[in-house]
Amino acid sequence: MFQFCARVPVVDLQEISDRLEIEAAIVRYTRGIDTGEWDLLDTVFTPDAEIDYTESGGIADTYPAVKAWLAEVLPAFFPKRMHSLAQVDVRLAGDEATATAYFHNPMPMDDGAGGTKVVEFGGLYHHTFLRTPDGWRSRRLHEEIVWKRGM
């Protein structure tokens, strides 16, 4: 008779809570971007966070500069945005964590001929999180573009 014995890692309630809070922060990030609720991003990032969007043609700077840039540029070029997230990998190390999330982000834009076209980006969001008195906050985001279509 075949017996299967899998070792299941033991996860405590604090780890479950930390993982859920980090995943919720990543969802708030994409919702803030998609809805244009830029102040929602204040609940995602530390004030001195570093954000790098250079792989998608954006900027790399500290959070306040990137927040202002997003509010100006995204609505002008991409009036509608819609993220999908998948495979969120959270790795905890005390009061720090890394999280990588797959994303797909299709966005309609002006095609230059009076119509619209859809531009799509797919890739990975790499966050470095820090536990703060206000909860988990990202102190670094690097957007890695794996593929794009329609550019």
Stated length of the chain:
151
Q: State pLDDT tens for residues 70-88.
A: 999 999 999 999 999 999 9
- Does the predicted TM-score (pTM) go above 0.85? yes
Q: What is the DSSP string of 65-99?
A: HHHHHHHHHHHHH-S----EEEEEEEEEETTEEEE
Q: State pLDDT tens for residues 40-71.
A: 999 999 999 999 999 999 999 999 999 999 99
Q: Could you identify the residue written with the tokens 């990998």?
A: 89
Find out whether 113 and 91 touch, Cβ atoms under 8 Å: no
Give the tokens for residue 7: 């070792």
pLDDT given for residue 105 in this prediction: 96
